[in-house]
Amino acid sequence: MNDILHQLRCFGCGARIAADKAQPDFRCVECGDLFEVEYPGWKERKGPDRPNAGALKWLWRERRCSSEILDHSGVWRFRELLPILESFGNAISLREGNTPLYHLHRAAKRLGIDQLYAKHQGMNPTGSFKDTGMTAALSVAKEKGYEWVACASTGNTSAAMAAYAARAGLRSLVLIPEGKIAWGKLSQAMDYGAVTCQLPVDFDGCLNILTEIVRQSPIYLLNSVNPYRLEGQKTPAFEIAEAFDWNVPDHLIVPGGNLGNSSALGKGFRELKELGLVARMPRISVIQAAGANPLVQSFARDNAATLEPVEAHTRATAIRIGNPASWRKAAQAIQETGGWCLDVTEAEISVAKAEIGAEGLGCEPASAVTLAGLKKLREEGKVKSNDVVVLVLTGHTLKDADYTIDFHRGTLLSEEENGGANSAISARIAELRRNAIVVDATPAAVLATMKERA
């Protein structure tokens, strides 16, 4: 561990500790809040003492053509900004990051925005943004000599952890809420060899139990309470800034579950600004599902001074979280950048997901809250037609194929959820549905079907 270059700072009380003094649950012994990784001296470096921004930007771009394995990673390519390992040779990488930024032509047209993009984190090796965080934190676990790593998960964290643990030769333990995660994700944990326990509690319950376990046994906790996860997950901010030639977009829209990702992206843009690599931060907005919206309620109640946990319900199972660990960090990212926190209904999520599918990209339901949220921000005049907007699509469409099939078959939503047969949203759902059709095995029948559907 590179303790000389980094330390941990408590987000609640500001206490600073050496990296090797962290508790197994990564909570501050003084106030119980979470830590973040801090690199002493970065903020203070002024004038000629600052890192040479031009040289760093050149180096990071140049590494994309390098034959060095570590340079193929979209996380470790930026290693100057995450000096968390004793030796970068210890990094466990699956060539994560360097994900595509797609223009969303049709959605942009519908919304009257010129520049609407999707940063597709579902194009990572295990199909979600979790890989960028896992390469960082699992490498720390390996360097520290742990034999076991563990996480509680709504599915994607466990898939990523199991894969990276397998690559590193470590054992992994997964706790998931029974019957409440998508099959694609569960199959990944099994495939990569994790010990997978389904518990009859929700995600928040799984995390509570795991917190007790890591206090009792030498198992390294890999949920996003682990501050090293966020160091990896901040790097898509660097990729986005680089893609816009270091002019950041006006808006970044992120789904909110346990709220680690929005916190990490906020940290990424903040550090770029502090180091003089970009001039400003994008407005960061966090979108939750209406049935799992504790941060939205917290903003409405007291501008995010406190958070009351909720009982979470949504078909976007990845963000079915009622007591998000990183809520204070996410609230700071929203407040300091002038972003917003809002929620969207099950019907709005399903429409947005189908629209992203119709662009030839696809994503999992939790990712589609970003487009559904953007529609609201646009209606409320918070996003202007000439703004540059980036949606963070967090997971691949194949993660939850059941959801997609149910949508196209028309069995996903209840009448109540889609506002009744005559509602505007029902009409839009009908336009977007593309169920598979049973057709006679003759050319004439297939051609007739094509004609009918045209």
By the rule CB under 6 A, 296 interacts with ligand F0G: no
> Which residue, 130 or 283, is less far from ligand F0G as judged by CB?
130
- The residue within the footprint of ligand F0G, chosen from 125, 184, 232, 260 (CB under 6 A), is 260
d(CA 193, CA 171): 8
Q: Which is nearer to ligand F0G, 74 or 122 (CB)?
A: 122
Nearer to ligand F0G, 230 or 248 (CB): 230
Return the residues of window 365-384 that contact ligand F0G according to CB under 6 A.
366-367
Q: Which of 417, 298, 360, 350 lies closest to 104, judged by CA?
A: 360
Characterize the bridge pairing of strands 115-120 and 101-103.
antiparallel
With binding defined as CB under 6 A, does residue 318 bind ligand F0G?
A: yes
Please report how close the Cβ of residue 296 comes to ligand F0G at its closest, in angstroms. 13
Q: Is 261 in the site for ligand F0G (CB under 6 A)?
A: yes
DSSP of 218-261:
-EEE-STTSHHHHHHHTHHHHHHHHHTTT---SEEEEE-SSSHH
- In whole angstroms, what is the distance from residue 349 CA to residue 412 CA? 11
Q: Does 133 bind ligand F0G (CB under 6 A)?
A: no
Query: Considering all CA atoms of the chain, what is the largest pairwise distance in Å, rounded to the nearest integer?
Result: 75
* 60/337 with CB nearer ligand F0G: 337
Closest approach, Cβ 373 to ligand F0G, in A, equals 12
CB closer to ligand F0G out of 174 and 347:
174
- Exactly one of 104, 119, 395, 413 binds ligand F0G (CB under 6 A); that residue is 395
316: enclosing H helix or E strand: none
Query: Would you count residue 196 as binding ligand F0G (CB under 6 A)?
Result: no
Select the residue interacting with ligand F0G from 125, 256, 291, 373 (CB under 6 A).
256
Q: Are 250 and 284 in contact (CB under 8 A)?
A: no
Q: Exposure of 257 by Cβ count < 10 A (0-12 exposed, 13-18 middle, 19+ buried)?
A: buried
The minimum distance between CB 401 and ligand F0G, in angstroms, equals 14
Contact call for residue 364 and ligand F0G (CB under 6 A): yes
Residue 293 and residue 343: Cα distance in Å, rounded? 7
Nearest to 202 by CA among 309, 97, 295, 107: 309
Q: Does 184 bind ligand F0G (CB under 6 A)?
A: no
Which segment (6-14, 259-267, 354-362, 370-378) binds ligand F0G by CB under 6 A? 259-267
**Pairwise CA distance, residues 147 & 272, whole Å:** 35
Question: Would you count residue 298 as binding ligand F0G (CB under 6 A)?
Answer: no
- Continuous H helices in 116-247: 130-143, 156-168, 183-191, 203-216, 227-233, 235-243
Binding string, 215-234, against ligand F0G, x = CB under 6 A? ---------x----------
Q: Are strands 148-152 and 171-177 parallel, antiparallel or unpaired?
A: parallel
156 lines the binding site for ligand F0G (CB under 6 A): yes
The phi and psi torsions of 195 (rounded to 5 degrees) equal -80, 110
Out of 93, 128, 235, 293, name the contact with ligand F0G by CB under 6 A.
128
Q: For binding to ligand F0G (CB under 6 A), which residues are involved?
A: 128, 130, 153-157, 224, 255-261, 318-319, 364, 366-367, 394-395
